[in-house]
Structure 1
Amino acid sequence: MSVSLKYAVVERERRWLVRRIPEGVSSTKDIVDRYVTGTRLRLREVREADGTVVRKLGQKVRLSDGPAEVACTNLYLDDAEWAVLAALPSRVLRKRRHMIHRDGLLVVVDEHEDGSLVAEIDDGDQPAHEIPGWLEVVRDVSEDESWTGASLAKS
């Protein structure tokens, strides 16, 4: 079955395990992702530092064999919609996201509950930038399925 990507945004993400959170964090937010069992759907709740909460339902459709290129579609949810959908069986991933704007790049570093740090750059439609030297890379996990959010989520 072919899926229409009319309303989707294409993400071309490069991800790395890193040793530490780099200097220059401009903002931090707490994220809880719920991967709905048996689907490609994810419920995401984002809590900003100022207390603002954003909730959305997302779907990711892979555009290639690996996890690095996906088409994402999101719907923003009110409290009633969130309550209904959050009751569905799901696996949960909690993380703190650190946003770093440096050298003309936006790099996000997700700090997981187990202490692992995963840095991500979304190149969109632009050519891939070099990995910034200040990002202390342990290894590239862009094509490693075990480092996707859905794989890291727990029952």
Structure 2
Amino acid sequence: MGSAAAPPPDRPKYALPERERRWLVAPSTAAALVAGPPTRIRDHYLEPGRLRLRCAVSSTGATVHKLGKKYGDRPAGAESITNLYLTAAEFDLLAALPGWVVDKQRYRVGPGALDRYGDGDDAAWIFELDFEDAAAAAACPHPAFADREVTGDPLWTGAALARRFGRRQPAAPAADGLSGAGRLV
């Protein structure tokens, strides 16, 4: 009782480094960038901890379910991340756990992704780029269409956006055809 938690390992055995940079994009600018249908994503940030349950449905209807963990470390600008791909039944089992659930739309913009959280004037648009190494991430110029960079800002993490734009689990089925905290239907 009262003992501090052990620090996360430098690099967990099966984790990969994720190097990403993120920028806010003004809604009027974002609207001009999007083309084609988005991938619909439901993220469920499980509490307590750093686990994220994700259901992604492409414009063709292909669905991916996965459980991911970001370890919170950022050595050399990279964060350790692991993903485990799930069956629909495994996903449904985990979706009953408490946490924050948020829906977003992801559009492909050049080599990156533009995510929209929320609707209307309150929507937040975030452009994200992933990099193979720290040098490439550091050398990347600020995209001309982007506003300020929010990489590493705790107010703009996925979990923080879930608290701002999402809902607390458990949730009742929604009238828009999205079932509670579970899969997108």
Q: Same fold (TM over 0.5)?
A: yes
Name the structure 1 match of 2:65. Answer: 55
Q: 1:4-153 residue pairs with structure 2 within 5 A?
A: 4-19=11-26, 20-21=29-30, 23=33, 25=35, 28-64=38-74, 69-101=78-110, 106-113=111-118, 114-125=122-133, 126-128=135-137, 129-133=140-144, 136-153=145-162
Structure number with larger C-alpha Rg? 2
Count of aligned pairs between the two proteins: 147
Could you tell me the TM-score, scaled by structure 1's length? 0.85
Could you tell me the TM-score, scaled by structure 2's length? 0.72
Alpha-carbon RMSD across the aligned residues, in angstroms, is: 2.0
3-state SS of the aligned residue for 1:153?
A: helix
Query: In the aligned structure 2, how far is the partner of 1:24 from the partner of 1:95?
Result: 14
Q: Residue type of the partner of 2:80?
A: A
Q: Contact (CA 8 Å) 2:74, 2:80: kept in 1 or not?
A: no
Identity among equivalent positions (%) equals: 38
3-state SS of the aligned residue for 2:132?
A: coil
Q: Contact (CA 8 Å) 1:14, 1:122: kept in 2 or not?
A: yes
Report how far residue 26 of structure 1 moved.
6.5
Q: Contact (CA 8 Å) 2:117, 2:161: kept in 1 or not?
A: no
Q: Which has the higher helix share?
A: 2
**Greater relative contact order (Cα < 8 A, sep 6+):** 1
Query: In the aligned structure 2, how far is the partner of 1:12 from the partner of 1:30?
Result: 23
Q: Residue type of the partner of 2:152?
A: E
Q: Residue type of the partner of 2:143?
A: P
Q: Could you list the runs of 5+ residues in structure 1 that have no partner in the other structure? A: none
Q: Which has the higher strand share?
A: 1
Q: Could you list the runs of 5+ residues in structure 2 that have no partner in the other structure? A: 1-5, 169-185
Query: In the aligned structure 2, how far is the partner of 1:12 from the partner of 1:35?
Result: 20
